[in-house]
Amino acid sequence: MVLALEYLPGGTLADRIGHGLAVTEVVRLGRGLLAGLGAIHKAGLVHRDIKPANVFLTADDEPKIADLGIAHDSVGRSMTRTGARMGTPEYMSPEQIRGEKIDACTDIYACGILFYEVLTGEVPFQGNSEYGVQKKHMEQAVDRARLAGKAPPGLVAMVEKALAKLPEHR
């Protein structure tokens, strides 16, 4: 048996957040990230842990989504225990937190968190405990003022739509 891995010398998106990314770079990386996520969803999977640390970059700064270790088969075959809350609390969707049925909308929500963080330098919902963070995901609106001036209105609207509390509104 041979295991081959792609060499990704660009580090992770998490490494880049503190260095300030230009909006044009955010949009370019976002397009690549969403294309990769579309391929994952087309294969019938939900990633369930989209976050900057799971987005690696090639030498040409093309994003590659990694760590499908807790991916969920969206066509009905369970890959992990049904109803289990799995993922990183800061990036989990409200339905994921509640242990409800998830689909591609769960990853869209996580992308909204990721874009918010890339644009502002921090995740929108923070707390002193996992419960505190999860409660904010389910009840608190995103702080639009933090995004204002960091991105054009269309990008702000996209992030806000991705962060809708109800999956059918994403």
Q: Domain 13-165 has what CATH class?
A: mainly alpha
Q: What pLDDT, on the 0 to 100 scale, is given for residue 5?
A: 79
Catalytic positions are 49
Confidence of residue 105 (pLDDT cuts 50, 70, 90): very high
Q: How many helices (H) and strands (E) does the chain have?
A: 7, 4
**So where are the chain's domains?**
13-165
C-alpha count within 13 angstroms, C-beta hemisphere, residue 123: 21
Q: Kindly report whether the global pTM for this prediction surpasses the value 0.95.
A: no
Q: State the pLDDT at residue 37.
A: 95
**21-45 confidence digits (pLDDT tens):** 899 999 999 999 999 999 999 999 9
pLDDT score of 73: 65
Residue labelled with tokens 């109803």: 83
Complete DSSP assignment for 98-127:
TT----HHHHHHHHHHHHHHHHHSS-S---
Structure tokens at 22: 């230009």
Per-residue model confidence as pLDDT tens digits over 136-169: 999 999 998 998 888 999 999 999 999 999 999 9
